[in-house]
Amino acid sequence: MNILFVGHGSNNDEYNQIYYIFISEIQKINRGKTALLLLSNGCDKLSSITDTFPKNEEIILIPLMVANGSHVTSEIFGDNKKSLIFILKEKGYKVLPYKKSLLECILSKNLHQKIWEEFL
């Protein structure tokens, strides 16, 4: 499974360490490629992300947001040319959106189990 996690991030990289630890742990169990994009870094970092995944492959797009606010509904999954899902589709990827917030996952099951159940 190719997975792109999208987090809010911070301009202070010290606060971003938790994202890197999380991605490191997911990479240990995911057989596909795993990448992270932090919105605080902007979509200029998207080129390094798209280099991770071969063109025309499926990417599961997962927001790492506690609740689904404007970052999720507009910047990640929005119906506009600046949204991440639009940009990835324009680059030739088949994007599988995972639109549940972290709180939704915690309230039902853990994130890892929910993703595998939904996409496998």
User: What are the tens digits of pLDDT across the range 70-104?
Assistant: 888 889 999 999 899 999 999 899 999 998 888 87
pLDDT of 116 strictly over 80? no
Number of structural domains the chain divides into: 1
Structural domain range at position 45: 3-119
Q: Is the dihedral of CA 48, 82, 32, 12 positive or negative?
A: positive
- 97: domain CATH number is 3.40.50.1400
pTM over 0.85: no
Q: Is 84 exposed, middle or buried (0-12, 13-18, 19+ CB in 10 A)?
A: buried
Q: Where are the alpha helices (DSSP H) in 36-76?
A: 46-52, 70
Q: Is 79 exposed, middle or buried (0-12, 13-18, 19+ CB in 10 A)?
A: exposed
The amino acid at 45? K
